[in-house]
Structure 1
């Protein structure tokens, strides 16, 4: 797997936030990328939960009615 392709972008930040980040030696691009990655993970997780809500509800109803499958084999 090669090096990811980097793309230049523009963003607007509060001036005081930008100055403080620079003063503290924070890498703005790296930090912003990390925040975007976290937001992507959250959105994907939310979408998965929404898409699978029916199956999750069905499984939870099954467990409520029948207990957790294979509990007789658990050692704890």
Structure 2
């Protein structure tokens, strides 16, 4: 399971209006799905994903530099690795 973007202990609730597909809402209600919780889980996943993408973009040069160094030099402490 992925780490949530915001932990539940830090969360306070705020009433928010969202527009959802009416058929989807009706189906969720018929299945006793808590729509607020489902929306929150989905939004949490989207935020977590956006944070991950942002981190990768911000650190792309450093990761590529490290990968280039490994290609040229090998992994640190390779001589101590037991295969």
TM-score, normalization by structure 1: 0.89
Distance 1:65 1:34 in 2: 43
Distance 1:13 1:30 in 2: 14
Higher relative contact order (CA 8 A, sep 6+): 2
Measured on the aligned residues, the alpha-carbon RMSD in Å equals: 1.4
Gapped regions of structure 2 (runs ≥ 5): 1-8
Aligned residues: 75
Gapped regions of structure 1 (runs ≥ 5): none
Distance 2:29 2:44 in 1: 21
Counterpart among 36, 40, 46 of residue 33 in structure 1:
40
**Offset from partner CA, 1:23-75 (integer Å, 9 cap, x none):** 11111000100111111111111111101111001001001111111122233
TM-score, normalization by structure 2: 0.82
